[in-house]
Structures are given as structure tokens and as C-alpha cells.
């Protein structure tokens, strides 16, 4: 097979993969009482049903995903009161418009730096679409509408209660600088977004701004101090960690980040 033929096959495969990601059905889970997950390729959202309403963590990749997520939340007996965005990457709030249409009074919370990042996404929409087409060999498709419009922001810490559960929101840094991780002490569960991926941490990304290796590891150390019984991630690779998996994934990821950081610095 020639290099040209191989390249053509690769491009067709990548474009099919892109179509699969956008058109995939949402897979739902119920890892514990009142706790649910919603999974598509590259992203996972989750929610907790309480006696006073539902708290949603992230909104998946697309408007279509959002519609499926809203429908399943309602089938589970939920009614959305809060949405917490773990970070401003678009695969975590792409379903925003579907939520906004159905629950216009719901509070949508993001760490304050996320507002600046989303504004940058608006300004650089065409450039970002071009860079994605180069990096992933997918069609240029700049997002020009349905950008997230949060109703509330916070700085370093925020807490609220709903239906007997306490939701503690902490600011961290990882893939980007507006990371939120959510601790629910009554059930010793933490929602971490993309701080954990079920694989090697994504601490570098071609064509994108430098990520935050050491702050990422330190954020995970703070999570480890909570001694959670369950971790729910924002990744599709391994959405839920329980029991002995919890310490293992935290320890291994922290060690991996420190190791790769130190090796790069030493090489320099």
C-alpha cells in the first residue's frame, strides 16, 4: 500500500470516527442510589437526584446529547435545579441549549475563569475549528452559537445544599485553569471532571496552550485528602471508580504527573 493510499484510508477513518462521536447514543448508568451517569465517546456527565431537585454535573458534547440527558433525568424522577460545569472545554457543556430550553430557571455554575475562556472560544471560533481540523483531520465546523451562559460563578470555594446533600465546589487546575471538583460529604463521593481520565493524564495537547502539570497533581492530592469512597469522572474511558480503585487511581495519576514533569525538567 502506498503512503498516499494509507493517508486516504486514515482520513476516511478519522472522519467516520468524528461522525460516530457526534451521533452516538448516550449510555446511562446508576452506580449508587440517587447517582446517575451519562456517557458518550470522550465525555461523561452525571447527576444526583434529591428530595428537592436534581444537581447535574456537566452537560455532554452536543445539543442532541443534552436532549437525551434531560429526558433520562426526568425518567429517573429528577427536576434540574443546579448544573455545575467542571471546566470550560466544550465537550462538558455542549448540551447547554437543551437544558436552558427545558429548565430556564436552573442555576448554572462555573469557576469564574471559565467565563473568560468561553469568551475566548467565541472570539477565536474559526481559528479553533481550523486547528482542530489540522490536529484531528476532521471537517472545519466552527461553533457560532449556543455558547454556555452561566448564571453564577465562584472564585476558590462555593457550597450549597439541596435535599439533604451538601455540594462543595473547589477550584483546581488541570487541563485548564477553571477546573471545578465537587465533593458530596454525605455519600463520600467526588465528581472530578477530566482531572481523572481512566488512562494517562492528558497533560499535553498539540496546538493548545500549556497545561498545568504540578497544580493538577496538587489538586488530586487535595481530593485524596477527602478519602472518597467513589469517584465519578468526566471521561468516557472509566467513568466510575469505587472502593480500592479510588486510592489506586489517585496514587497512580499523581505519581505519573510528578514523574513526567520531573523527567521533562531534567531533560531541559
Share of the chain above pLDDT 70, in %: 90
Q: How far apart are CA 163 and CA 124, in angstroms?
A: 41
> 40 falls in which pLDDT band (50, 70, 90)?
very high
Residue 120 lies in a domain: yes
Residue 7 lies in a domain: no
Assigned C-alpha cell, 189: 463521593
Q: Does residue 106 surpass a pLDDT of 60?
A: yes
229 closest CA partner among 246, 217, 213:
246
* Residue 107 burial (CB count, 10 A): 15
Residue 171 lies in a domain: yes
> 102 falls in which pLDDT band (50, 70, 90)?
very high
Average pLDDT estimate for 233-240: 88
49 closest CA partner among 14, 13, 75, 21:
75
Of 136 and 75, the structure prediction assigns the larger pLDDT to: 75
Q: Which residue has the cell 486514515?
A: 10
Q: Which domain holds residue 87?
A: 12-267
Using alpha carbons, list the distances in angstroms from residue 62 to 43, 65, 91: 11, 5, 7
Q: What local confidence, expressed as pLDDT, does residue 135 receive? A: 75
Residue 25 lies in a domain: yes
Residue 4 lies in a domain: no
Q: How far apart are CA 31 and CA 244, in angstroms?
A: 15
238 closest CA partner among 201, 184, 187:
201
Residue 115 lies in a domain: yes
Q: What local confidence, expressed as pLDDT, does residue 9 receive? A: 47
Specify the pTM. Answer: 0.89
* Residue 257 burial (CB count, 10 A): 23
For 164-194, how does the pLDDT look when each residue is reduced to its tens digit (9 = 90+)?
A: 999 999 999 998 999 999 999 999 999 999 9
CATH code for the domain of 190:
3.60.15.30
Assigned C-alpha cell, 203: 497533560
- Average pLDDT over the chain reads 89
Of 3 and 134, the structure prediction assigns the larger pLDDT to: 134
Of 209 and 188, the structure prediction assigns the larger pLDDT to: 188
Residue 2 lies in a domain: no
Q: How far apart are CA 245 and CA 240, in angstroms?
A: 9
Assigned C-alpha cell, 266: 531534567
Q: In the chain, how many domains are there? A: 1
Sort 157 into a burial class: Cβ within 10 Å, 0-12 / 13-18 / 19+. Answer: exposed
Average pLDDT estimate for 42-69: 95
> 99 falls in which pLDDT band (50, 70, 90)?
very high
Q: What local confidence, expressed as pLDDT, does residue 162 receive? A: 98
Q: Does residue 130 surpass a pLDDT of 90?
A: no
Measured between its terminal Cα atoms, the distance across the chain in Å is: 39
Q: How far apart are CA 106 and CA 80, in angstroms?
A: 6
111 closest CA partner among 148, 74, 164, 60:
148
Residue 229 lies in a domain: yes
Q: How far apart are CA 35 and CA 183, in angstroms?
A: 13
Amino acid at each position: 500500500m502506498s503512503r498516499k493510499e494509507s493517508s486516504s484510508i486514515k482520513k476516511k477513518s478519522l472522519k467516520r470516527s468524528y461522525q460516530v462521536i457526534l451521533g452516538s447514543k448516550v449510555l446511562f448508568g446508576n452506580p449508587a442510589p440517587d447517582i446517575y451517569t451519562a456517557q458518550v465517546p470522550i465525555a461523561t456527565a452525571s447527576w444526583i437526584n434529591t428530595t428537592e431537585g436534581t444537581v447535574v454535573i456537566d452537560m455532554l458534547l452536543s445539543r442532541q446529547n443534552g436532549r437525551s440527558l434531560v429526558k433520562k433525568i426526568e425518567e429517573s424522577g429528577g427536576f434540574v435545579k443546579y448544573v455545575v460545569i467542571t471546566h470550560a472545554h466544550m465537550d462538558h457543556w455542549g448540551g447547554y441549549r437543551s437544558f436552558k430550553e427545558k429548565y430556564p430557571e436552573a442555576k448554572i455554575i462555573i469557576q469564574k475563569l471559565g467565563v473568560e475562556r468561553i469568551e475566548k472560544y467565541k472570539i477565536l471560533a474559526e481559528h479553533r475549528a481550523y486547528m482542530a481540523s489540522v490536529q484531528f483531520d476532521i471537517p472545519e465546523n466552527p461553533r457560532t452559537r449556543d455558547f454556555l451562559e452561566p448564571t453564577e460563578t465562584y472564585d476558590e470555594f462555593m457550597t450549597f445544599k439541596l435535599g439533604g446533600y451538601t455540594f462543595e465546589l473547589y477550584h483546581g487546575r488541570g487541563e485548564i485553569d477553571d477546573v471545578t471538583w465537587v465533593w458530596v460529604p454525605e455519600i463520600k463521593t467526588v465528581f472530578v471532571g477530566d482531572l481523572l481520565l481512566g488512562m494517562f493524564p492528558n497533560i499535553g495537547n498539540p496546538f493548545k496552550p500549556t497545561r498545568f502539570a504540578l497544580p493538577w497533581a496538587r489538586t488530586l492530592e487535595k481530593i485524596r485528602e477527602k478519602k472518597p469512597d467513589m469517584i465519578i469522572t468526566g471521561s468516557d474511558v472509566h467513568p466510575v471508580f469505587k472502593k480500592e480503585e479510588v486510592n489506586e487511581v489517585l496514587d497512580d495519576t499523581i505519581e505519573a504527573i510528578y514523574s513526567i514533569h520531573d523527567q521533562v525538567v531534567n531533560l531541559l
